Chains A and B, each alone.
Chain A
Amino acid sequence: MTPKISLRNVTKRFPVRSGADASAQGTLTALDDVSIDVPPGDFLALVGPSGSGKTTLLDLLAGLTEPTSGAVLVDGTPITGPGQDRGVVFQQYALFPWRTALANVTFPLENRPVGGVRLTRAQRVQRAREHLELVGLRGFEDRYPHELSGGMKQRVAIARSLAYRPDILLMDEPFGALDAQTREQLQDELLRIWRATGTTILFITHDIDEAVYLGTRVAVLSARPGRLQAVVETELPHRGHGGDIRSDPRFVRLRHEVWSLLHGGDRLVAEERAVA
């Protein structure tokens, strides 16, 4: 089966100004030779310390930048820019503050035909209402973003990205700015939506618990340059159905495995020990 998303030896370098001498140009390797396949309907969580090129990877997949070398494929075809097969959810919500919750969700529907058909105004509003309801925001259609809490804003952003029914949802630390309780609530809602829609999700986070809890697989990146260290399969059947899965021994073991991958292979830890 063709993977939904496929990264083939993807490397991304940026020119940087180094230190005090502003004229000296160096390059920063954000991603180094990353290859990974994501099958359709998978929920891949991507963990890595800061500087591991997580956001660079997301930008590449979103079509906002191009790789220095290697290929980014969706359904076996190289991507050429942003497309309606992919939706992006950002950490800072990125809602348009001059639009109400409903108008934020209709926004993508105004820009391109959905499934080859341009929706009428009434159809767009109808579709947006359905998706606001899907994320549990019925009754908040006419609120402006500044009138919503952080969790609600992120719900609107998720509804907005789902409204044109993309096959892939790319999420860049979407719950990172939320309080712990709201975060757990939204994690379960996301699992529910994932099961209901069958969307392939690539979820970036720096939170190991979140990665293990959400992902069917967890990809671990190392920092500077960002390299793929390992992909951990998680088989936790009862995620998102209530119950305290996080204290399940299997969860704890997986969590530790990912933690070791993030820290164990790290030279810094060895150096710290040497100093101590």
Chain B
Amino acid sequence: MSAAVVTGAATAASRPAALPRLARRVGRTAGRTVWGSAAIVLFLAVWEFAPTFLLTPATRVFLPPLHVVLAAGWQLTLDGQLESNIAASLSRAASGFAIAVVVGVAAGLLIASYRRLDAFLSPLLELFRNTAALALLPVFTLLLGIGETSKITMVAYAAFFPILLNTIAGVRGVDPLLIRAARTLGVGRARLFAKVVLPAAVPTVFTGIRMGGAASILVLVAAEMVGAKAGLGFLIVNAQNSFLIPDMYAGILAIALIGLAVNGLLVALERRFSRWRAPAV
């Protein structure tokens, strides 16, 4: 009897407790989301209201409020300008990036496999790696013109080095114990690469690919700003020169969003290929 009373009391007490617990969890998640996006919302609010209330009309021209920029972006989307420029930029970035991935991974595998090749090429690669890609922009423009070739080459050049260096590090970093184990398990020298070295290096290679992806967008926009007939970099500079300031900001906003999306995509890809790695604590 008394036991039943106790149980009844316990359920009675726990039932109303269940609802607040769920509510609390929802509340906590919501709270984290709100707090996480608060800075962005605040930034956008400042952008929206500061020009209107704090700036003089003369300076407001150079920093139009957010809604004006968004309207300009909408207009650019409607007449197809934004899409065509994004398409131009993305196709260049993708081509250059693809070249960098293929050449960078292949060269990295070769250099990591042959000590003599490494000793021969490393000093030269070190020199080139430390030469800022943008410093070579005039050279590429002079030699390859202002067309697609020079832009794609720039992107490939900038993305090449992180991919190359990470590939080398990945191959070098393979645990020698795994190689010993594989040999005792019947893997010949010829297949060792495919069965052990390559899979072990994949996560590091993908880190390089992600870094290369970020570098390619960065460099491309700069290259387009210097000399191009299309692309987001061109859109921005052209808008500035034509005094279409809201259009300029719309272009910048588009670049920010694309950079964010590309990075998110590459991070997801990297994670997909590193699933087997112990989560870093």
Contacts and interface: CB of A to CB of B under 8 A. Distances in A.
Interface of A: 62-64, 82, 84, 86-88, 90, 92, 94, 96-99, 107-108, 111-112, 144-146, 160-161, 164
B181 interface: yes
B132 interface: no
Contact of B186 (A64, A98, A111, A146): A111
B185 A111 contact: yes
Given A97-B277, A98-B200, A111-B191, A62 B184 contact: yes
> Range of interface residues on chain B?
20 to 34
Interface of A is mostly: loop
Contacts of B196: 96
8 contacts: A82-B183, A82-B186, A96-B178, A96-B181, A96-B196, A97-B200, A107-B182, A111-B187
B199 A98 contact: yes
Contact of A84 (B181, B186, B199): B186
B177 A108 contact: no
Given A98-B200, A111-B191, A88 B181 contact: yes
A275 to B, nearest CB: 39
Contacts of B200: 96-98
A204 to B, nearest CB: 14
9 smallest CB-CB distances across A and B, nearest first, come from A146-B278, A94-B181, A111-B186, A108-B185, A88-B184, A112-B186, A98-B276, A98-B199, A82-B184
B185 A64 contact: no
Interface of B: 175, 177-178, 180-187, 191, 195-196, 199-200, 202, 275-279
Contacts of B185: 82, 107-108, 111, 160-161
Contact of A64 (B178, B180, B277): B180
Contacts of B181: 88, 90, 94, 96
A63 B180 CA distance: 10
A173 to B, nearest CB: 13
B65 to A, nearest CB: 51
A57 B175 CA distance: 21
A62 B185 CA distance: 10
B193 to A, nearest CB: 14
A97 B276 contact: yes
Interface-central residue, B180, B182, B184, B187, by most chain A CB under 10 Å = B184
Contacts of A161: 185
A92 B200 CA distance: 17
